[in-house]
Amino acid sequence: MIYQKKSFQKLNDVNKLFFINQQFINKFYYKKKLLISSKLLINNIFNLFFKKKQKIFKNIKDVILLFLFLLLLFIYSLSKLKKFEKSSLLSHTNLIIDLDYKNKIKIDQKNLLQLCTAMEKCLNVINLSLDLGLKKIGSQGVKSLSYSLEKLINLQTLKLNISYNQVESEGISYLGSVLQTFKNLQNLMLKLTNNEIGDKGLSDLSSSLSKCTNLLSLELYLDLNLELSDEGVSDLGLCLAKCINLQVLVLSLNQCSIRAKACSVLASGFAQCTKLQNLELFLGAICYQDVSYLTSSLARCHKLSKLTLKLQGNALRDQDSLSIGSCLANLINLKFLKLILFDNKIGNQGALGLCFALSQTSNVYTLEISLSDQLLLSSPQILDLIKLATFLFLFIHNYCQINLI
């Protein structure tokens, strides 16, 4: 089904906004399937209301009204689809193409090429969001997609999800070579989770991103790319050092084979982003046992107002917890803080030290800490004491909202 809106929040000069889900693809390439989908919807409602022994409808009038409503909805959907097919693709400035992976409908290379052919004609598009997660398009599919994206020279915002697609380094390298041609690109989100990306792919992508000098927001999700190692992540850190205009940075490297040296280069990289205001780091289960490099880099991000730090499953100890607390206490502009530190080796002393350190922050009003399940408790009263100490020091001093997990 396609929905059209006349306005889009926080965006100017928006002509049309389309949400294109899997039913659109069915209609676009297999026109009969939309009718089948609508029939299935009616059958499901019928089964829900009539086959179960529930007296939902009092009389036949309610049944007729429901049927008419569904019929009108179906006709409205068809009219929108026909309107989109006949519309001038040059008129679209904002596109959201959502091929929901939950439908579990495969897209072969032929269908993907048809989609790319239509998309590359939207030459005036400024904001594009494309979700192709779990479609198994592979590196060849990413190449086809990149070739079409290259023609959208006016892009300012790009959100691309190609997670779980068996994409290798070759495909990501080609995508990177296209991204660097977007001179107006300001906001970029790449979801590359659980592919087959190696160091060469990430290095090439990083080199291309360093040439996107107007980037204000970068979100990069690389979780579960098991072929990544220190070399690729180090190159990513060197790339970040050149993105001096970044204000928002989200990096997710959960369960990647990264050691402390690469993390230190990565941390040194984002520390060079002096305009950074919002930072989210997801470094779970990467065997990162030394946070000193990370904390020293965080302390240099003086403009940070929002910080999310996820370091679960990294064998951190009390000393690391104290180092994190000491660093955060120096971030005077911090207002929102989320710490995820469970499944480490932080004991009671480290937890209490972290709480006392956080009590020195002056502006934090929203705090969420997740660390309770790994505390080496000798009795339940100790956990209560830690929670009480956290509440007293943080609430009394800062009047902040607290969520202890």
C-beta atoms surrounding 186 within 10 Å: 17
Contact 230, 263 (CB under 8 A): no
DSSP string, 3-39: -EES--TT-SS---EEEE-HHHHHHHH-HHHHHHHHH
Q: Which residues contact 338 (CB under 8 A, 6 or more apart)?
A: 307, 308, 309, 367, 368, 369
Residue-wise pLDDT tens digits, 162-191: 999 999 999 999 999 999 999 999 999 999
Q: How far, rounded to the nearest angstrom, does the alpha carbon of residue 59 sit from its chain's CA centroid?
A: 48
Spatial contact of 351 and 390, defined as CB atoms under 8 Å apart? no
The domain over range 132-404 is classified in CATH as 3.30.420.40: no
Tokens of residue 99, six digits: 């091929």
Q: For Cα atoms 160, 165, 170, give the angle at the middle one, nearest 5 degrees.
A: 85
d(CA 253, CA 234): 13
**Contact between residue 299 and residue 271 where contact means Cβ atoms under 8 Å apart:** no
For the segment 18-56, what is each residue's pLDDT rounded down to a tens digit? Answer: 343 334 433 333 333 444 444 455 555 555 555 444 444
Distance CA 41, CA 211 (A): 48
The identity of residue 61, as a single letter, is K
Residues of the chain with pLDDT under 70: 1-63, 65-66, 70, 73-87, 100-106, 287-290, 372-405
* Angstrom distance (rounded) from CA 108 to CA 55: 45
Using alpha carbons, select from 153, 177, 94, 162 the residue that is nearest to residue 128.
94
**Residue ranges, CATH 3.80.10.10, the chain:** 132-404
Q: Which residues pair with 168 in a beta bridge?
A: 196
Other beta carbons within 10 angstroms of residue 86's beta carbon come to 7
pTM, entire model: 0.77
pLDDT at 373: 55
What pLDDT is stored for residue 102 in this prediction?
62
DSSP designation for 49: I
Write down the pLDDT at residue 18. 37
Q: Is 391 helix (H, G, I), strand (E, B) or coil?
A: helix
Tokens of 289: 């046992």
Residues 123 and 115: their CA atoms lie apart, in Å, by 14
**pLDDT, tens digit, for every residue of 263-285?**
889 999 999 999 999 999 999 87
